[in-house]
Amino acid sequence: MVIVSSSAVDELKTAVRGQVLLPGDASFDQARSIWNAMIDRHPSVILRCAGVADVRQGVAFARDNGLSLAIRGGGHNIGGSALCDDGVVLDLSQMKSVHIDPTARRAYVEPGATLHDFDHEAQAFGLATPLGINSTTGVAGLTLGGGFGWLSRRYGMTIDNLVSADVVTAEGEFLNTSADSHEDLFWAIRGGGGNFGVVTRFEFALHPVGPLVYGGLVVLPLTQARDALLKYRAANAGMPEELSVWAVLRLAPPLPFLPPEVHGKPVIVFAMCYTGPVESGPAAVEFVRAFGTPVGEHLGPMPFVAWQQAFDPLLTPGARNYWKSHNLGEIQDGLVDALLSAIDQLPSPQCEIFFGQIGAQTQRVAVEATAYSSRDTLYAMNVHGRWDDASDDERCIAWARAFFDAAAPFALGSVYVNFMTQEEGGRVADAYGPNYERLVAVKNRYDPRNLFRCNQNIRPSV
């Protein structure tokens, strides 16, 4: 444990515009709480940055005092990379500015902004870029790991829409990175996580989306799941790129359009978003309704911002969460067998397994074009263990691991870095595949002492 002198802390307080929080301060415990309640870490200092100058001061403070450094954006990362023990947390959550240039179709976004912040501003002009599926997620962490969501089949990964980024390095340099400036660093931050510096501003390309989209849910009983998944698999090749359909298997939540007798029963849910002409929506999704005989459905035009928030009630902060994930190139019969067996043994009403469909535009980018290398992924499959009571930890984690192991023979062997839990450091090379050695070289150049290590760490070799 490194002891920080009170004089050093006092110097930091006078040097920054933001707030310096210490253990014992009234708001300290609230400031160290994050989305996943399984993460309980105790930093020595939390610096709530007010701007780039504070970020540079915080990086220098950690570096010069030999302290661990964690970077908090939205605080949503499953592995808890927003926090560290006995070190410094750079809390960027107050840096939430989102500026939209509707003429140039560009968004300039600070690292504390959430998906809701971004969508709220961009949708005022009928614009969007591919982001995730939960509005409380931070834009920064999502982007740095690759990023995908409902728009990705049409417009690619989040990083495929990143035009430039401002980065503060371990030495405190402020670099504007793009395809024409510090190209190696720009390449690395597009998927390489927070390993190379602190991004203080993102510039994204925007696309015409909404403000209304067509979508919703079709819910089938689990007894129809096998046949429905085979139809889903067969339909993929013919789906328009304006349509994204995800499959979720879980116990039915008490949704108002479901009959009470279905609540708490195992179901397969097809969640879909169609961004073509709203009047074409019913025809575009009709084939999904034919996957089986629904026990309930909720389909229609809706604001894109509403759809981006549709799953928030199932992903509120404060629960215990544990994930295991595989990238899939297809849904094989053996995987369906393992999947249905796992759903028969759900250890908690909140646990689920989902297939996040991407493909199309995400697969047209060369493997070496960005640090994110999993361009053959058609579905990012996530085993989402979620429960409330710590006494259920062992049982729920064991369930997630068992299905992960059963699914492994049917997976690509790669993994989406944003879905990796804290103990999965051994999979980092799998997450980057053929791009891993190049990432190590960039790490050697920009962070040879591994200051930025509270993440899925790419270790320097120097």
Q: Which amino acid would we find at residue 307?
A: W
Q: Are residues 274 and 317 in the same domain?
A: yes
Q: Are residues 200 and 226 in the same domain?
A: no
Residue 446 in this model has a pLDDT that exceeds 90: yes
Tokens found for residue 308: 């981006």
pLDDT digits (tens, 9 = 90+) for 154-169: 999 999 999 999 999 9
Q: Are residues 153 and 226 in the same domain?
A: no
| 11 domain residue, yes or no | yes
Would you place residue 440 in the very low, low, confident or very high pLDDT band (cuts 50, 70, 90)? very high
Would you place residue 22 in the very low, low, confident or very high pLDDT band (cuts 50, 70, 90)? very high
Q: Are residues 121 and 267 in the same domain?
A: no
Residue 204 in this model has a pLDDT that exceeds 70: yes
Cα–Cα nearest to 124, from 242, 206, 214: 206
Average pLDDT of 328-346? Answer: 98
Q: Give the number of C-alpha atoms closer than 13 A to the C-alpha of residue 97, restricted to the C-beta side.
A: 12
Q: What is the largest CA-CA distance in the chain?
A: 69
Q: Are residues 400 and 306 in the same domain?
A: yes
3-class state of residue 313 by DSSP: helix
Q: Are strands 127-128 and 98-101 parallel, antiparallel or unpaired?
A: unpaired
Q: Are residues 62 and 130 in the same domain?
A: no
| 282 domain residue, yes or no | yes
Q: Which sign does the torsion angle of CA 107, 113, 115, 119 carry?
A: negative
Tokens found for residue 273: 């978003």
Would you place residue 5 in the very low, low, confident or very high pLDDT band (cuts 50, 70, 90)? confident
Could you list the beta-strand ranges (E) of 74-225. Answer: 88-91, 98-101, 106-109, 127-128, 162-168, 174-178, 198-205, 207-208, 212-221
Exposed, middle or buried: residue 294 (CB in 10 Å: 0-12, 13-18, 19+)?
buried
Residue 202 in this model has a pLDDT that exceeds 90: yes
Distance in angstroms (rounded) separating the CA atoms of residues 170 and 445 = 10
Q: Are residues 248 and 394 in the same domain?
A: yes
Which residues span the domain enclosing 113? 98-209
Q: Are residues 339 and 277 in the same domain?
A: yes
6-15 vs 52-64: helix crossing angle, rounded to 10: 160
Give the chain's domain count. Answer: 3
| 438 domain residue, yes or no | no
Q: Are residues 187 and 220 in the same domain?
A: no
Using the CB atoms, write b or e for 380-393: b if 16+ within 10 Å: bbbbbbbbeeeeee
| 460 domain residue, yes or no | no
| 375 domain residue, yes or no | yes
User: Where is the domain boundary, 91, 108, 141?
Assistant: 91
Domain holding 314: CATH number?
A: 3.40.462.20
Q: What is the pLDDT of residue 462?
A: 85
pLDDT digits (tens, 9 = 90+) for 219-253: 999 999 999 999 999 999 999 999 999 999 999 99
Mean pLDDT, all residues of the chain: 97
| 435 domain residue, yes or no | no
| 329 domain residue, yes or no | yes
Q: Are residues 371 and 393 in the same domain?
A: yes
Domain holding 158: CATH number?
A: 3.30.465.10
> Are the C-beta atoms of 189 and 165 separated by less than 8 Å?
yes
Domain holding 21: CATH number?
A: 3.30.43.10
Q: Give the number of C-alpha atoms closer than 13 A to the C-alpha of residue 217, restricted to the C-beta side.
A: 20
User: Where is the domain boundary, 91, 116, 150?
Assistant: 91
Q: Are residues 132 and 154 in the same domain?
A: yes
Residue 1 in this model has a pLDDT that exceeds 70: no
Average pLDDT of 105-121? Answer: 98
Q: Are residues 389 and 276 in the same domain?
A: yes
Average pLDDT of 106-129? Answer: 98
| 192 domain residue, yes or no | yes
